[in-house]
Chain A
Amino acid sequence: MTVERDLVLTVARRELSDTIRSKLLWIYAGCFGVLASALTLTGLTGARLASQGGYGRTAASLVALVQTLVPLMGLTLGALTLATGRERGALRFVLAHPVSRLEVLTGTFLGLATALWGAVAVGFGLAGLIGALAGAPGSPVSLLALTILSGLLATSMLAVGMAIGAGDARSSSALGLSVLAWLLLVFVGDLGLMGTALATRLPVSALFFAVIANPVESFRIAAVPTFGSSLDVLGPAGSFAIDTLGGSARFLAGAVILAWIVIPAAVSARRFARSDV
């Protein structure tokens, strides 16, 4: 099936415009910007009090913030957009035109992804500006790399959210499932895995692959080296990564995040093609 670029871009522009008008995006962008700025300021202040160079600590805080907030942004926006579009009849309106479902889905994905990248960039832009004004020693390149990785994580979570919303789910179910996915990926995937590893004496290699299969953890593995820290900070799994993969661990993590974009997007396309709107 051919996908016509101009049709995809028409849908993408409409979706971007609609998302920019939505309160949810601005709430997320505002929270992210405020928290990123606050973490930057407190990180720098703490570092000065301890007489240490400060940006590594700030960046680590930003990584934790991204790990928590960005997946929630992507998952809920992705799941709710399709489900509410179906409920409001907006999808019926668009799909009654000579446009394929794949073109509508691709356009919607691009529009939402652009809005999410914008929200992430605003948050990091604020943090970077405040850091620069406060004389933080960090490199803008590190912040840019962190921004790009965060954008990729947001895109992968958007793809998962859209896979949830692409079926016949109502918006309330889609929201519930997306929050459940967030809890599983962000909290159960981290704390649950730690607890399981201790209880079952999971081999370190198995622990590492279980960790890196989670896109949120993959983001951390890819992000930690961007501000000059070693993967040792991630514990035994990080040490295993250094010993076996060396510098390639971050590329493997990047590939995992990309896979979490491609596979859920394919699932979305399959579910959306079969659903009634």
Chain B
Amino acid sequence: MIDVRHLTKRYGEVVAVADVSFTVQPGESVALWGPNGAGKTTVVRSILGLASYEGFIEVAGLDGRNDGKQARALIGHVPQELAFYDELTVFETIDFSARLKRVTPQATKAALARVGLTSHLTKAVGSLSGGMKQRLAIGLALLGDPPILLLDEPTSNLDAGSREGVVRLLHELRSPSRSMLLTSHHIDEIGLLADRVISFDAGRIVLDCGPQELSDKLGLHSWLHVKVATSAPAAAAAVLVASGFPARLNGSGILVEVSAQGKGAALRRLEESGYRVVDFEVWR
């Protein structure tokens, strides 16, 4: 669905993206991962035609430069920085976007219902919470049910509660008929939302792999402190060690090292071995 070939973007002397190539297949969800300034947002802006670039970008076979308008008709975009007109109501904002996308009122209602904004139509956008604004952005991106979603740091600037809700919503949007390209620097979010991760550093691709492989390669491990309902926690720890989880006793519980994506696996292993997990904490 998205084919990026030899993409280079320069800002004067500064090369923000250097000879980057990748594809996103139909139904695939790909995350661009990397620190701030790595070039992820520049790639998204180039795909949308918001920035000039060297190289080639195709969206569903449409040339990004010459057929940008038609290509954007296939894309729903959630920007990193929400730039709504604060004085407009939610309805006015959606109506403006729907007119530009030529979306019917029925389809607009469906998108609103999906993100839970139907009861907020008369509120000014400026009065919405960060989480609600993000839901509005996702609702706008879903107008017309586009086959491609471009999500640029969709959970940045959100508190933990709002972030969880937005990630859950985005997870529900994954579908075999929809491709997703998202940027993020939250590895846990990527693990839930992406099939593949392309890691960026200083405008270049340094890794293209699965989320689990990325967290392994980066050594992104956490420590779980687990309490199990047993009088012999040493035996439970031994089960974990035998299953490949570095574990040791710690006070009344077991301290087990897990990858960012592997917390559930350690807990499941204990349960499968007959040790009921009473409580656990994540120690980073």
Contact = CB atoms under 8 A, between A and B. Distances in A.
A96 to B, nearest CB: 5
Nearest to B46: A276
Interface string B19-48: 000000000000000000000000001001
Contacts of B73: 98
A133 to B, nearest CB: 37
Nearest to A276: B51
A24 to B, nearest CB: 15
Contacts of B99: 6-7, 10
A48 interface: no
Contacts of B102: 98
Interface stretch (B76-84, B157-165, B227-235, B262-270): B76-84
Interface in A79-133: 88-90, 92-100
B222 interface: no
A99 B72 CA distance: 8
A251 to B, nearest CB: 39
B97 A97 contact: yes
Nearest to B73: A98
B96 A96 contact: no
A94 B50 contact: no
Interface residues of B, number: 26
A7 B100 contact: yes
A99 B50 CA distance: 12
A96 B77 contact: yes
A238 B270 CA distance: 98
B13 to A, nearest CB: 15
A179 B70 CA distance: 39
Given A98-B72, A99-B69, A89 B83 contact: yes
A232 interface: no
A93 B100 contact: no
A105 to B, nearest CB: 14
B191 interface: no
Nearest to B78: A96
A7 B101 CA distance: 9
A97 B50 contact: no
Contacts of A97: 72, 97, 100-101
A152 B102 CA distance: 33
A89 B96 contact: no
B52 A276 contact: yes
Nearest to A9: B99
Interface in B72-131: 72-73, 75, 77, 79, 81-85, 87, 96-97, 99-102
Contacts of B69: 98-100
Contacts of B50: 92, 95-96, 276-277
B55 to A, nearest CB: 15
Contacts of A90: 83, 85
Interface string A57-69: 0000000000000
Contacts of A7: 99-100
B68 interface: yes
A10 B83 contact: no
Interface in B222-268: none
A92 B150 CA distance: 14
A96 B48 contact: yes
Contact of B84 (A10, A21, A93, A96): A93
B190 to A, nearest CB: 23
Contacts of B79: 89, 92-93, 96
A94 B82 CA distance: 12
B210 interface: no
Contact of A98 (B81, B82, B87, B101): B101
Contact of B100 (A89, A94, A274, A276): A94
Nearest to A14: B96
Contacts of B81: 89
A83 to B, nearest CB: 14
Interface in A1-49: 6-7, 10-11, 14, 18, 21
Nearest to A273: B52
A21 B126 CA distance: 15
Nearest to B49: A95
Contacts of B72: 96-99
A87 to B, nearest CB: 10
23 contacts: A7-B100, A10-B99, A89-B82, A89-B83, A90-B83, A92-B79, A92-B83, A93-B83, A95-B48, A96-B50, A96-B72, A96-B75, A96-B79, A97-B97, A97-B100, A98-B72, A98-B101, A99-B69, A99-B72, A99-B100, A100-B68, A100-B69, A277-B51
Given A10-B99, A93-B84, A276-B51, 9 more contacts: A94-B100, A96-B72, A96-B75, A96-B77, A98-B70, A98-B73, A99-B69, A99-B72, A99-B100
Interface of A: 6-7, 10-11, 14, 18, 21, 88-90, 92-100, 274, 276-277
